[in-house]
């Protein structure tokens, strides 16, 4: 039986008095890729922001490796092995590609391991090595997304949360990003929670899938049934 590495129990979250996530219970198992689908405004981003500590949940619990971390600050979560790649290329646009990657390892207490990690990431995304001294904001959209994922990997997280990594990318780049997510999962054993709207390209890489609608989980299970267009439309 697989064990949950990151778990939300009846999580409620929102902005001000407006509740957007209404009691979501989901768990990411060790070593798996969990895909969360849902239309715009379904509450997916709010859910992962509350999970990662970027906003304080209104109710419910977040557990990491069986230990409660509800409302814990992102700095503590990152130091504990959780990484988050926000929607829309989470990079520092005015800094160089190299500086961005180095900052990705900010929480690493032993900085001597960073050059080796940098090599691993350059192996995964060779373009980042070629563009090391380039200002990150001048990279193409796909390269920025690779950089954002590379930064998240710099502190060797056990859990990687990705919020719509395909947004704004050309279809061939989406395929490239999706295949790199599979590679990260297989090569580093990283458990990955990925939010997506691009159903056809993200479903094949998922071990399990969930659908969120108006802040509630309406489907959780194998990804295959969601390939049925009619079923998916009913859930959306």
Partner 1 sequence: MDLALQLLVNGVITGSHYALLGVGFGIIFATTRIVHFAYGPIFTVAAYMAWYSAAMLGLPIPVALLIAILAAVLLGVGSYVLLYEPFEKRQAPHLVPLIASLGLYIVLENLVGIIFGSGVRVVREFTNGIHFMGPVFFTTIHIWQVVVLVVLGGALAVFLRWTSYGKAVLAMTDNPEMARIIGIDTRKVAILVFAIGSAISAPSAVLILLKDGATTHMGFLAVFMAFVAVIVGGIGSIKGAVIGGFALGMVESLGMLRIPTEWQSSIAFMLLFLVVLLRPQGLFGAAMRR
Which of 72/129 has CB closer to partner 1? 72
Which among 209, 164, 199, 216 is positioned nearest to 47, based on CA atoms?
216
**Terminal Cα distance for the chain, rounded:** 30
Which of 70/209 has CB closer to partner 1? 70
Which of 154/209 has CB closer to partner 1? 154
Helix (H/G/I), strand (E/B), else coil: 118 = helix
Among 44, 155, 158, 208, binds partner 1 (CB under 8 A): 155
Residues 6 or more apart in contact with residue 62 via CB below 8 angstroms? 6, 7, 8, 9, 11, 50, 51, 68, 69, 70, 71, 72
The answer to whether 89 and 141 have CB atoms below 8 angstroms apart is yes
Which of 112/172 has CB closer to partner 1? 112
Instruction: State the minimum distance, in angstroms, from the CB of residue 22 to partner 1.
Output: 22
- Phi/psi for 145 (5° steps) reads -65, -40
Helix (H/G/I), strand (E/B), else coil: 77 = helix
> Per CB under 8 A, does 117 bind partner 1?
no
- What's the rounded Cα separation, in Å, for the pair 192 and 187? 12
- What's the rounded Cα separation, in Å, for the pair 11 and 143? 34
Among 12, 34, 42, 151, binds partner 1 (CB under 8 A): 151
- Stretch 36-95 residues interacting with partner 1 (CB under 8 A): 52, 54, 73-75, 77-79, 84, 86, 90-95
**Maximum distance among all alpha carbons in the chain?**
52
Instruction: State the minimum distance, in angstroms, from the CB of residue 11 to partner 1.
Output: 19
Which of 100/217 has CB closer to partner 1? 100
Instruction: State the minimum distance, in angstroms, from the CB of residue 44 to partner 1.
Output: 17
Instruction: State the minimum distance, in angstroms, from the CB of residue 147 to partner 1.
Output: 12
Instruction: State the minimum distance, in angstroms, from the CB of residue 111 to partner 1.
Output: 7
Give the interface with partner 1 as residue ranges (CB under 8 A): 52, 54, 73-75, 77-79, 84, 86, 90-95, 99, 102-104, 106-107, 111, 151-152, 155
């Amino acid at each position: 039986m697989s064990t949950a590495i990151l778990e939300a129990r009846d999580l409620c979250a929102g902005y001000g008095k407006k509740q957007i996530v209404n009691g979501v219970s989901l768990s990411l198992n060790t070593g798996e890729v969990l895909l969360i689908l849902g239309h715009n405004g379904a509450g997916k981003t709010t859910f992962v922001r509350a999970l990662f500590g970027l906003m304080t949940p209104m109710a419910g619990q977040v557990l990491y490796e069986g230990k409660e971390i509800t409302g814990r600050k992102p700095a503590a979560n990152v130091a504990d092995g959780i990484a988050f790649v926000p929607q829309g290329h989470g990079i520092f646009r005015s800094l160089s590609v190299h500086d961005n990657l180095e900052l990705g390892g900010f929480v690493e207490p032993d900085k001597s391991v960073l050059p080796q990690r940098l090599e691993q990431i350059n192996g995964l995304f060779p373009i980042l090595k070629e563009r090391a001294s380039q200002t990150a904001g001048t990279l193409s959209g796909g390269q920025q997304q690779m950089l954002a994922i590379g930064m998240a990997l710099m502190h060797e997280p056990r859990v990687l949360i990705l919020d719509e990594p395909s947004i704004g990318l050309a279809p061939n780049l989406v395929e490239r990003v999706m295949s790199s997510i599979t590679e990260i999962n297989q090569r580093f054993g990283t458990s990955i929670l990925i939010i997506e709207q691009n159903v056809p390209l993200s479903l094949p890489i998922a071990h399990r899938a969930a659908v969120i609608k108006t802040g509630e989980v309406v489907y959780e299970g194998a990804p295959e049934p969601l390939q049925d267009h009619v079923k998916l439309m009913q859930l959306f």
